[in-house]
C-alpha cells in the first residue's frame, strides 16, 4: 500500500498513531507486505479498491456456519411446529438483516471501521459505552464458536475429548482464525469469496436431497402453533442478524466512495439474508428429523440420509466457515479494542498495535472457551438476548444520524479530534441510548428477570420493537438543536486537503 497522506486536524493535532486519521504506516518489511497496515485510521481514496458485489460473499459465508445452525433450532426445541419455525426464521432474518445491511454504505462514505463512527453520536469518549459492549460481543461470539467447533470435532471423531485435548483444539482453531485476521481485509474478502462458492454447492446438495427424502415425514409439515416459541425464535433470529451491525463497515471501508448506498445495502442484505436463513433452516430441518439429537449430530445424521458420507462433508465445510467468521470476530474485536485505547492514548504504530490486540484477543478467547462448558444452546440463547438489548438502541441512533440527521456528512479528522466538533461526551446519543434501553426493560425476558410486559405476553420478549423506535425518535428530536449548516462549514474546513495532505 502507498504511504498515507499527512493531515492536521483543525484545532488539535493528535499524535500520529492509530487515533490519527492519516497515521503513518510502519516501516515495511518483507512480511508486512502481506499484512494490512491500517487499523482504525482513515483509508484514503487512492487506496480504495474492490467491487461492491464482494460484499455478498463476506456476509453469506459470515452467516453460513455451525453457530448459525443453533439459532435456527431454538423454536423447534421449545415445541414450535416446523412450518411455523420456518416462517419465524425467514421474517426474523429479514428484519434483523434490514438494519444490519443499512450500515454497509457508511464504510465507503467514511473510509473508517464501524465502531469508530459512533463518536459523532456519542462523543470522543462517550462512544466507549458501545465499544465496551461491542468488545464483549466479539469475544463472546469467538468463545461460542470455539465451543461449537469442539462439539463438532467430537461428533465427527466419535470420541469424548479430555479438557486438555479440548484446549488444544480451541488453540488450533484460534491460530487458524488469527492467521487470516493478521493478513487483514483483502485476505478476509478472498477467503470468504472462495468459501461461499464451495458452501453454496454443499447447501444445494443438502436442500435438494432433503426435498427428495422428505415425502411422508409429518414432522416437516406446519406442525403445532405456539405463540411464545414463535416469538422467541423470531426475535432470536432478528437479534442474531442485528448483531452483525457492529461489523459491517469494517469490510466495506476500502470500497470506492461512489459505489452507492443502494448497491452496498442490497449486496450486503442478499448475502446476509440468504446465508443466515439458509443455514438456520438447515438446523431447523435437522432437529425436525432427529428431535432427540444435539444440533451438530442432527445435521450430521441428516446429511448422511441425503447421501451416505455427506454429513461429515457438510460439518467440515461449516466448521471452515466457523473459522473464517471467527476471523471477522477477532479482526473487528481488535479494531474495537484499539478504538477504546485511542480514547486515552495514541499508539504510534497502527499495524503493530493491531497485531498485538489480535494476539491478546486470541489468547483471551481460548482461555474463556476452556472454562465455558458445552451447553451450546443455552449459551447462544443467553448471548442473543443480551445482544438485542445492547445494540438495538445503538443501531437506531447510528442509522438515524447517518441517514436522517447528518445525511452522511462527517469530518474524518474531527472524529479523531478529542476537542473537535463532536465533543468528548455527546448528551444526545448517550441520552437517547439510555431512554431507549430503559423503555425496553419492561419487555425483557431473561432467566434472571422478566419484565411486566413480557409476563403479560407469557414470557415473550418484544423489546426490540420498543427500543428501535424510541431510541430513533428521541435522538432525532434531540438533534433538531444542531446547527447543521455551521457544522458542515466546519467539516469543509477541517477536512480540506484530506486526500493530499494539504491543510487549508
The string of pLDDT tens digits covering residues 35-66 is: 888 888 899 999 999 999 999 999 999 999 88
pLDDT beyond 90 at 175: yes
Q: Are 468 and 396 in contact (CB under 8 A)?
A: yes
C-alpha cell read off for 169 = 483444539
pLDDT tens per residue, range 260-285? 899 999 999 999 999 999 999 999 99
In a domain, 107, yes or no: yes
Which CATH number fits the domain that encloses residue 327? Answer: 1.10.4160.10
pLDDT tens per residue, range 177-188? 999 999 999 999
CA distance 95 to 100: 9
Helix/strand/coil for 447: coil
pLDDT tens per residue, range 397-439? 999 999 999 999 999 999 999 999 999 999 999 999 999 999 9
pLDDT beyond 80 at 19: no
pLDDT tens per residue, range 309-360? 999 999 899 889 999 999 999 999 999 999 999 998 876 777 788 999 999 9
In a domain, 98, yes or no: yes
In a domain, 24, yes or no: no
Higher pLDDT, 356 or 6: 356
How far is CA 440 from its chain centroid?
22
Percent of the chain exceeding pLDDT 70 equals 89
In a domain, 390, yes or no: yes
Which domain range does residue 465 map to?
31-247+259-494
In a domain, 5, yes or no: no
pLDDT beyond 60 at 94: yes
When the pLDDT of each residue in the chain is averaged and rounded to a whole number, the result is: 87
In a domain, 405, yes or no: yes
pLDDT beyond 70 at 2: no
C-alpha cell read off for 440 = 425496553
In a domain, 15, yes or no: no
Alpha-helix residue ranges (DSSP H) falling in 290-375: 295-306, 310-342, 350-370
pLDDT given at position 21: 57
Number of independent structural domains in the chain: 1
Instruction: Supply the pTM of this predicted model.
Output: 0.88
pLDDT beyond 80 at 30: no
- The burial class, CB within 10 Å (0-12 / 13-18 / 19+), for 407 is exposed
pLDDT given at position 26: 44
In a domain, 488, yes or no: yes
Amino acid at each position: 500500500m502507498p504511504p498515507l497522506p499527512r493531515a492536521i486536524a483543525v484545532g488539535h493535532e493528535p499524535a500520529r498513531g492509530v487515533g490519527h486519521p492519516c497515521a503513518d504506516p510502519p516501516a515495511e518489511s518483507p512480511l508486512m507486505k502481506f499484512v494490512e497496515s491500517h487499523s482504525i485510521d482513515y483509508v484514503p481514496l487512492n487506496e480504495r479498491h474492490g467491487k461492491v458485489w464482494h460484499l455478498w460473499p463476506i456476509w453469506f459465508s459470515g452467516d453460513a456456519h455451525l453457530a448459525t445452525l443453533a439459532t435456527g433450532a431454538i423454536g423447534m426445541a421449545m415445541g414450535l411446529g416446523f412450518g411455523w419455525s420456518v416462517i419465524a426464521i425467514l421474517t426474523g432474518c429479514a428484519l434483523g438483516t434490514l438494519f444490519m445491511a443499512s450500515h454497509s454504505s457508511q464504510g465507503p462514505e467514511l473510509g473508517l471501521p464501524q465502531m469508530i463512527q459512533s463518536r459523532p453520536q456519542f462523543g470522543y469518549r462517550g462512544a466507549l459505552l458501545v465499544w465496551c459492549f461491542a468488545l464483549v460481543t466479539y469475544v463472546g461470539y469467538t468463545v461460542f464458536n470455539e465451543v461449537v467447533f469442539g462439539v463438532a470435532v467430537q461428533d465427527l471423531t466419535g470420541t469424548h475429548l479430555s479438557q486438555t485435548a479440548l484446549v488444544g483444539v480451541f488453540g488450533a482453531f484460534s491460530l487458524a482464525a488469527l492467521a487470516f485476521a493478521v493478513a487483514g481485509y483483502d485476505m478476509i474478502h478472498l477467503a470468504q469469496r472462495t468459501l461461499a462458492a464451495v458452501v453454496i454447492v454443499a447447501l444445494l446438495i443438502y436442500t435438494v436431497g432433503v426435498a427428495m427424502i422428505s415425502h411422508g415425514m409429518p414432522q416437516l409439515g406446519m406442525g403445532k402453533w405456539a405463540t411464545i416459541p414463535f416469538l422467541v425464535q423470531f426475535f432470536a433470529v432478528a437479534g442474531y442478524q442485528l448483531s452483525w451491525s457492529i461489523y459491517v463497515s469494517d469490510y466495506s471501508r476500502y470500497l470506492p466512495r461512489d459505489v452507492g448506498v443502494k448497491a452496498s445495502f442490497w449486496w450486503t442484505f442478499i448475502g446476509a439474508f440468504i446465508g443466515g436463513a439458509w443455514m438456520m433452516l438447515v438446523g431447523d430441518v435437522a432437529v425436525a428429523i432427529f428431535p432427540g439429537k444435539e444440533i451438530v449430530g442432527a445435521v450430521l445424521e441428516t446429511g448422511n440420509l441425503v447421501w451416505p458420507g455427506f454429513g461429515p462433508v457438510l460439518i467440515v465445510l461449516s466448521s471452515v466457515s466457523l473459522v473464517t467468521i471467527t476471523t471477522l470476530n477477532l479482526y473487528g474485536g481488535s479494531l474495537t479494542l484499539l478504538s477504546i485505547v485511542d480514547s486515552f492514548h495514541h499508539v504510534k504504530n497502527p499495524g503493530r498495535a493491531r497485531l498485538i490486540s489480535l494476539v491478546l484477543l486470541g489468547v483471551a478467547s481460548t482461555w474463556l472457551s476452556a472454562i465455558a462448558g458445552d451447553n451450546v444452546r443455552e449459551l447462544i440463547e443467553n448471548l442473543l438476548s443480551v445482544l438485542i438489548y445492547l445494540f438495538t438502541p445503538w443501531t437506531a441512533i447510528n442509522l438515524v444520524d447517518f441517514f436522517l440527521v447528518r445525511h452522511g456528512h462527517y469530518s474524518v479528522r474531527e472524529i479523531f479530534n478529542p476537542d473537535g466538533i463532536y465533543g468528548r461526551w455527546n448528551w444526545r446519543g448517550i441520552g437517547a441510548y439510555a431512554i431507549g434501553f430503559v423503555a425496553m426493560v419492561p419487555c425483557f425476558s431473561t432467566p434472571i428477570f422478566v419484565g411486566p410486559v413480557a409476563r403479560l405476553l407469557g414470557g415473550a420478549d418484544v423489546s426490540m420493537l420498543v427500543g428501535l423506535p424510541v431510541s430513533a425518535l428521541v435522538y432525532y428530536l434531540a438533534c433538531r438543536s444542531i446547527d447543521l449548516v455551521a457544522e458542515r462549514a466546519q467539516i469543509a474546513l477541517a477536512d480540506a486537503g484530506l486526500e493530499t495532505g494539504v491543510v487549508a
